[in-house]
Each structure stands twice: as structure tokens, then as C-alpha cells.
Amino acid sequence: MFWYSIRKPPIGTTKKAFVDRCQTFLTQEPELTTTFNEIYDYRSAADHLHNWQTAFANVPSEQRELRAGFRVYQAELTTSFVYSRILSDDRLFQLFSDDSTIDQLWASQHHERNVAWGEKMTLSKASEQRYVPFMDFTRRIPGVF
């Protein structure tokens, strides 16, 4: 619930808002849009009791499990980073303290959000440095590294 309140997506544009707002917390990288589209679709499939593999329809079937595990890990890294920053910075804590301040933040321009948020995490770097479980180091996960 807390993660939902941080993002506070407008009805009807939930996926687009999710992808856009998650990028507020992270250094801009070419794969971020794909990453968060897949994370959103994976969560959506689970929430609506659909086969999880539908979220990775464009990924070869033999690579879907690896991709899904990696996306879950990236979602965890992002969430942990965001929580840690908000809960350890009084200014950010105030920005996310109620619906009014959250609405003001998301209504602001991208550059204003970036200034308000401050330090960003580079997801690819954090992922590569820390992701070990289930990884086959003899090959790369296509579309990820």
C-alpha cells in the first residue's frame, strides 16, 4: 500500500504513470522503460490471476523465468532504495507525507521532480553488482545486460 501511495497513479493511466514515476527515482538509462513495463505487466498478471508468462510474451520461453526473476529483483532494489531515501531524509519524508504533497510532486515538471528527489540510483549498475541467485554466469540474459 505504501508503494502505491508513493506513486499515486491517476486512474486510466496507471501503467504509463508507473513507468514514468519510477524513473523519477533512477538515473535515466535506455532499458528503464522496458524494465518497468515488464515489472508492471508481471504484477498485473499476478493481480488478475493471469499466467505470469504473459508479461514476458516477447521473451523466448526458455528465458522467461530468468527474466522474471531478474525483474522481481530490480523491483525490490528500486523499492528498497525509494523507502530508504524517504525514511532517512526529513525533506523527502514531508514530500510523501500526505495526498496533497504527493499530488503536488507528481503535478510538477520532470526537472522539478528530479531536483526534489535528488540522488538517484543507477538500476543497471546496482543490478549487475548485486544480482547473483539464479544467474548463469556462462551467458547473459538477453535484453537485460
Report the pLDDT value the prediction gives residue 134, as an integer from 0 to 100: 54
Reported as half-sphere exposure (CB side, CA atoms, 13 A), residue 101 has a value of 10
Q: Is the pLDDT of residue 122 over 90?
A: yes
User: Hey, where are the domains in the chain?
Assistant: 16-130
Whose cell is 522503460? That residue is 33
Report the pLDDT value the prediction gives residue 2, as an integer from 0 to 100: 46
Report the pLDDT value the prediction gives residue 129, as an integer from 0 to 100: 80
CA 107 to the chain's CA centroid: 19
Each residue's pLDDT tens digit, 19-71: 899 999 999 999 999 999 999 999 888 888 888 989 999 999 988 998 998 99
**What percentage of the chain exceeds 90 in pLDDT?**
53
- Residues near 125 by Cβ (< 8 Å), separated by ≥ 6? none
Residue 98: pLDDT band by 50, 70, 90 thresholds?
A: confident
Specify which of 1-5, 53-57, 116-120 reaches the highest per-range mean pLDDT: 116-120
Helix, strand, or coil (residue 26): strand
Q: Is the pLDDT of residue 133 over 60?
A: no
